[in-house]
Structure 1
Amino acid sequence: MQPMVEFCINRLTSDVEEIKDELEEDPEVDVLESACLGNCEICAETPYAMVDGEIVTGENGKELLKNIRKTIKDQQKKLDDLLDLL
C-alpha cells in the first residue's frame, strides 16, 4: 500500500506546489489535491499536508517536504514492525 499525501488547494503556495509536483513524480507516493481538508486553522498558519490522515507541517516548503518524507518513513517502519509480529 502506497502512502497518500493530500494537499489543500487553498494552501498551494508556490513552494508547496513545487513539493506536490515533486511527490507526484515519485511512483511510491499517491498525491491528491482536495478543495478542503477540514484543518482551516492549521492551513491559515503554516504549510501543511496530510500523510495517510496524519497532519504534517513545516515552516516552509523545504521543511514540509522533509517532514512528509520522515512521516512516510516512520509510518512504513510501524507497518513493517507490525507485520513482523504476525
Structure 2
Amino acid sequence: MIVEWCVANAISEKASELEALGHLSYAYDAIEYPCLDHCDLCVQTPYLLIDGKLLEDPDPDALFKRVVAQFAREQRELADAAVDGCGES
C-alpha cells in the first residue's frame, strides 16, 4: 500500500502518524510530496492518494482513521491468503 500526500494539504498535520504507520510494515509506504497536482482539491479539503486512488475527508483525523482501517484490512487479507496457501502442494 502506498500512501501519498501534499505537504500543503491539511492532512500533512498527520504526517508523522502516517509515516509511523509506514514503519510498522514493509507493505506500506508513506510519502510526502511538495505537490501532487491536485491544487483545487488541496485548498478545499484534506485528501491523500492510496495506491493512486483519491481519498478525501473534511476531517484530517477521520481521514487518517480511514487509512489505518484500510491498512488493517489489507494486512488481514494478506495473512488470510498466507494461511490459505500453506496447505497447498
TM range (shorter): 0.5 to 0.7
Alignment of 1:4-83 (within 5 A): 4-11=2-9, 13=10, 16-26=11-21, 27=23, 28=25, 29-73=28-72
The CA deviation at 1:73 is 4.6
Which residue matches 2:87?
none
Contact 1:49 1:56 (C-alpha < 8 Å) held by counterparts = yes
Give aligned-pair identity as a percent: 31
| TM-aligned CA distance change 1:9 to 1:22, over 3 Å | same
The CA deviation at 1:81 is 9.1
Structure 2 alignment gaps of length 5 or more: 85-89
Question: What is the distance in 2 between the residues matched to 1:61 and 1:44?
Answer: 13
Which deviates the most, 28-37 or 71-80? 71-80
Contact 2:5 2:12 (C-alpha < 8 Å) held by counterparts = no
Structure 1 alignment gaps of length 5 or more: none
The CA deviation at 1:67 is 2.0
How many residues end up aligned between the 2 structures?
A: 80
Question: What is the distance in 1 between the residues matched to 2:41 and 2:76?
Answer: 27
Question: What secondary structure does 2:43 align onto?
Answer: helix
Structural RMSD (CA): 2.6
